[in-house]
Amino acid sequence: MNAVITVDPRDGTRRATDLTETGDVLLGEIVARASRAARWLTDVGRHGRAGVLEAIADSLESRRAHLVATAESETGLGRPRLDQELTRAALQFRMFADVVRDGGYVEAAIDHAADTPLGRGPDLRRMLVPLGPVAVFGASNFPFAFSVAGGDTASALAAGCPVVVKAHPSHPLTSHASWRAIESAVRDAGGPDGVVAIVYGEQAGRSLVRHPGIRAAALTGSIGAARALQAAIDERPDPIPLYAELSSVNPIVVLPAAAAERSDQIAEGLFASFTGSGGQLCTKPGLAFVPSDPAGDRLVSALRERVASSGGATLLNERIRDAFESGTAALARAGASVSARPRIDPGTGFTVAPALMEVALPRLTAEIADECFGPLIVVVRYREVTELGAALVTVPPSLTGSIHSGPGDDVAAVRGLVDVLAARCGRLVFDGYPTGVRVSWAQHHGGPWPSTNAVHTSVGATSIRRFLRPLAWQDAPDWILPEELRDDHTAIPRRVDGRLEPAVESPHR
Amino acid sequence: MNAVITVDPRDGTRRATDLTETGDVLLGEIVARASRAARWLTDVGRHGRAGVLEAIADSLESRRAHLVATAESETGLGRPRLDQELTRAALQFRMFADVVRDGGYVEAAIDHAADTPLGRGPDLRRMLVPLGPVAVFGASNFPFAFSVAGGDTASALAAGCPVVVKAHPSHPLTSHASWRAIESAVRDAGGPDGVVAIVYGEQAGRSLVRHPGIRAAALTGSIGAARALQAAIDERPDPIPLYAELSSVNPIVVLPAAAAERSDQIAEGLFASFTGSGGQLCTKPGLAFVPSDPAGDRLVSALRERVASSGGATLLNERIRDAFESGTAALARAGASVSARPRIDPGTGFTVAPALMEVALPRLTAEIADECFGPLIVVVRYREVTELGAALVTVPPSLTGSIHSGPGDDVAAVRGLVDVLAARCGRLVFDGYPTGVRVSWAQHHGGPWPSTNAVHTSVGATSIRRFLRPLAWQDAPDWILPEELRDDHTAIPRRVDGRLEPAVESPHR
């Protein structure tokens, strides 16, 4: 059994942990326990699950100091950021408690028996039910909010699905400590083993998605990782959904009047957005379109000053550091020029210098428009707003597309560019920056390939839909129906005979 | 250019039609027109699209005589059945008009800017938007309701997606006539070319799903057809969703008290359900579990009499006829015995004799539990209700699972069997038969692999979700928002700051 290694990206030290890579026999037992645990998650009901989700949030927060310190030593992300991320992770569990109590997510519908143009129609009742055990593959860049204690785990549990997380090799101890926090809350709530489990090692990840007991998988990672998991899934006789959030360039368009009105403010915002967390966010803006005019010059000059005087960024691991350095070099070879980059002593860890690169719009190519994970932005200088539509089509579809405009910008042009971006992203940001993803009901974190492979979000209330499937009951006796589908249950919104009926609030609520 | 052939299954005559297989150049033009037509479907708005859907329903019904006669000559399905199917197809378009007017399907959500534990959260608004042009592959067995004028076309159009249908080779003239009916309604409504288009030939089908302009595909067909389409999709750089409804055995469990109470009635129901439409329905019950007791004997004996005195069934095409005959022979080799089968003169067409087969539960194998498309049912005789749970697990997951019980049956046993079926099907039918799928809001037509490959339905109001993706607007000015997401738009149900607000009915409605 191979010991799991942890690496401190701040100084590059590697050491063996007490954890070992999960072999196939143990993995089989873990999935079997997960399959059995599904019953408990259903039996406790929506309100019971909501309580468990809140207990998990409490448990995570009660271990904040240990979790944050562990994550800092494994990710190099600073304490303020990790502290905030843990708050976000707890918030996600609490939000899903609200979602589950609200009950609208089950999409309950009742069609009473009725005469139809095709004869007598039977009584039909439909709601969404859990898919079964879900495999979760967390991301390197969010050791809490997109990892063991992340949104995939929270939404799958909320749906009623047991979760088996494959720990990210970049933060095994954080993963283990997060799992312990979750597992202890589940146990205190009376839950059996297997409600949330954890496995270690790449081979275990592949075995996991091939296991017949696993009914869905969720990944936040690279296109390469998604292809490897999909290849493993394709070996199954029964395909299962893989929800993958992958790669995103997140173009930002600064229109001339915006640059004229607030060049310094936009430079400040762009700098914070592309360098925060070492630029290691899936929503990091990788391309900014800035006008080739005096206002645009001022904006780029202000950005240049900020970058030139910035410090180094410690990246998450050696692979990401190497990819960043080779990506930066590739951009230069492809014709983007380095506009600002401080000299940084990398030390023994995975520290790099942020980079501002520039290219004239006519020289924008697919290579330059490709994602480079880390603290780098390419500013694309354009002469005419009319050039932007075609240029945006060379940018790969992304999670987000942003547009900054001012009072003097042509409204029709703005509308046209928004249409182009809307066809190629999942979230349109106006006069703002794509980083800092609000966790809420109306959030959508997803987009056309290659940003994701799905028509569902991985952040926010509706991400629960990924782990549910519809089930219909035809002419069922009342006692066999789930309570959500009985005639007298009015505590959740339901569609009855085609008409949406909001929940009737109970008096003691 | 190869001429498209039509075959009359009643006498096996083949003749060339005026239609030709669609080459890649024409196909490229068709998809380009579809991509352009997406704009019109969005611009007419929800109410405009609802009107178009109703006009299509009217147009189909106004051509009823021609459509039904054409379909009869290509499918051998009788006029009463085809007449009813056309009514169903029209009903589907009308139901989606209601769905689109209701507007709940866009899942509109608004989170106003607010202070959160993570700082100031931006204004976020989310709704579902159309995916873009959809490729539809219809089924052989429903020349209207699951073909050119079927639910996939209706739900994709309702969503705002142009449709390119690949005509089924079993009914090209019906496909063409259906397309003409739809196309003329779209044109009368002022729609451009390309809102609904049709292509012919297997090669055109593969080219279609590989075309970059196609954003999703829907298939009702065989596992082999789904694998071929998925292989073509896998050649794309950007994967697209394939929603496939495939194969289903639809087990029916008759518990002892049900058999004792109503053996003749159940025999009558089973006979009608497995022989209707020549047994060529995806919801045909292929396996019935009947007790090995005197009541079960009466039931089987009544079923045997009905089958022995029944006439032949004309199957849809030569391939289906051959598969039925070889499937029946394979079942016999696998250990099921022929319990009743009339002698039928097949004539020159694709006519077969219905078959009732029997096997004792301990001899039920995966081979016997496999789907055999056509007028055949395998009765599985069981001694103890406690044997049924394990036996049902050998049956492939299905679209439906049915259970007949009587007042004397053990409630706990019923509940246990319903749990087993619920894990392995998409619709639970109580004291009824799975055929005759009601088109309504609460319907679910889907199930675990191999019955479908998706967590969505292909029949009923919610099937529209397959052709939509979420899009979010962050801090968008009012004038850029779709009307559904403006603060003052209260005509559709929306989730505002987490709370579901039903539509406010306008006074003139």
- CB-CB: which of A125, A446, A480 is closest to B442? A125
Q: Decide if A503 is inside a domain.
A: no
Contacts of B448 in chain A (CB under 8 A): 238, 469
Tokens of B223: 């596992």
Q: Decide if B437 is inside a domain.
A: no
**pLDDT value at position A371?**
86
Q: Decide if B508 is inside a domain.
A: no
Sole residue written with tokens 């006498």: B11
Same domain for A146 and A35: yes
d(CA B429, CA B421): 10
Same domain for A183 and A165: yes
Long-range contacts of B458-463 (CB under 8 A, 24+ apart): B458/B151, B458/B152, B458/B218, B458/B220, B458/B243, B458/B245, B459/B151, B460/A126, B461/A109, B461/A498, B461/B95, B461/B96, B461/B98, B461/B99, B461/B105, B462/A107, B462/A109, B462/A126, B462/A470, B462/B105, B463/B151, B463/B152, B463/B155
Q: What percent of chain A has pLDDT over 70?
A: 99
Q: CATH number for the domain including A72? A: 3.40.605.10
Inter-CA distances, A442 with A79, A222, A330, B106, B409, Å: 29, 26, 38, 12, 48
Same domain for B221 and B102: yes
Q: Does A506 have pLDDT greater than 70? A: no
Q: pLDDT tens, B265-286?
A: 999 999 999 999 999 999 999 9
For B464, half-sphere exposure in the C-beta direction (CA atoms, 13 angstrom radius) is 31
Write out the residue range of the structural domain in which residue A140 sits. Answer: 27-110+121-246+455-467
**pLDDT value at position B441?**
98
Biggest distance spanned by C-alpha atoms of chain B? 79
**pLDDT value at position B346?**
83
Q: Does A508 have pLDDT greater than 60? A: no
Shortest CA distance from A244: residue in chain B: B239
Same domain for A392 and A350: yes
Q: How close B298 comes to chain A (CA, Å)?
A: 25
Q: Which residue out of B438, B439, B468, B501 would a mutagenesis test of the A interface target, given it has the greatest number of A Cβ atoms within 10 Å?
A: B438
Contacts of B456 (CB under 8 A, 6+ apart): A470, B243, B446, B462, B463, B465, B466
What pairs with residue B370 in β-bridges?
none
Q: pLDDT tens, A266-294?
A: 999 999 999 999 999 999 999 999 999 99
Which pTM was predicted? 0.97
Assess whether A183 carries a catalytic annotation.
no
Same domain for B99 and B78: yes
Q: Decide if B477 is inside a domain.
A: no
Q: Does A346 have pLDDT greater than 90? A: no
Q: Which residue out of A453, A455, A473, A494 would a mutagenesis test of the B interface target, given it has the greatest number of B Cβ atoms within 10 Å?
A: A455
Contacts of B453 in chain A (CB under 8 A): 239
Q: Indicate yes or no: CB of A473 within 8 angstroms of CB of B430.
A: yes
Assess whether A61 carries a catalytic annotation.
no
Tell whether A468 lies on the interface with B, counting CB pairs under 8 A: yes
Neighbour tally for A63: CB within 10 Å: 17
Q: Decide if A85 is inside a domain.
A: yes
Residues 11-50 of B with CB under 8 A from A: none
**pLDDT value at position B509?**
44
Q: Does A505 have pLDDT greater than 80? A: no
Q: Indicate yes or no: CB of B116 within 8 angstroms of CB of A91.
A: yes
Shortest CA distance from B461: residue in chain A: A498
What average pLDDT does chain A have?
96
- CB-CB: which of A91, A415, A449 is closest to B239? A449
Same domain for A160 and A48: yes
Sole residue written with tokens 């005195």: B309
Same domain for B218 and B91: yes
DSSP state of B362: G
Shortest CA distance from B89: residue in chain A: A118
Same domain for B459 and B414: no
CB B377 within 8 A of CB B288: yes
Residues 228-267 of B with CB under 8 A from A: 238-239, 241
Q: What percent of chain A has pLDDT over 90?
A: 98
- CB-CB: which of B471, B498, B500 is closest to A98? B498
Tokens of A395: 């940018």
Q: pLDDT tens, A138-170?
A: 999 999 999 999 999 999 999 999 999 999 999
Q: Indicate yes or no: CB of B238 within 8 angstroms of CB of A449.
A: yes
Same domain for B324 and B273: yes
Q: pLDDT tens, A202-248?
A: 999 999 999 999 999 999 999 999 999 999 999 999 999 999 999 89
Q: Decide if B237 is inside a domain.
A: yes
d(CA A485, CA A467): 20
Q: Decide if B323 is inside a domain.
A: yes
Q: CATH number for the domain including A302? A: 3.40.309.10
Q: Indicate yes or no: CB of B430 within 8 angstroms of CB of A480.
A: yes
- CB-CB: which of B430, B449, B495 is closest to A441? B495
Tell whether A461 lies on the interface with B, counting CB pairs under 8 A: yes
Same domain for B219 and B101: yes
Split into its structural domains, chain A has a count of: 2
Residues of chain B with pLDDT under 70: 506-509
Residues 283-312 of A with CB under 8 A from B: none
Burial class of A36 by CB neighbour count within 10 A (0 to 12, 13 to 18, 19+): middle
d(CA B123, CA A125): 36
Q: How close B345 comes to chain A (CA, Å)?
A: 33
Shortest CA distance from A120: residue in chain B: B438
Sole residue written with tokens 């699905």: A161
CB B492 within 8 A of CB B155: no
Tell whether B122 lies on the interface with A, counting CB pairs under 8 A: yes
Amino acid A394 reads T
Tell whether B424 lies on the interface with A, counting CB pairs under 8 A: no
Q: Decide if A486 is inside a domain.
A: no
Q: Indicate yes or no: CB of A495 within 8 angstroms of CB of B449.
A: no
Tell whether B490 lies on the interface with A, counting CB pairs under 8 A: no
d(CA B461, CA B95): 7
From the list A387, A401, A380, A361, the residue with the least C-alpha distance to A299 is A380
**pLDDT value at position A509?**
44
**E strand spans, A272-333:** 287-291, 313-314
Contacts of B415 in chain A (CB under 8 A): 480
Same domain for A274 and A218: no
Same domain for A213 and A258: no
Contacts of A122 in chain B (CB under 8 A): 432, 438
Angle between the B223-234 and B202-210 helix axes, to the nearest 10 degrees?
40
Amino acid A403 reads I
Q: Indicate yes or no: CB of A471 within 8 angstroms of CB of B422.
A: yes
Contacts of B479 in chain A (CB under 8 A): 411
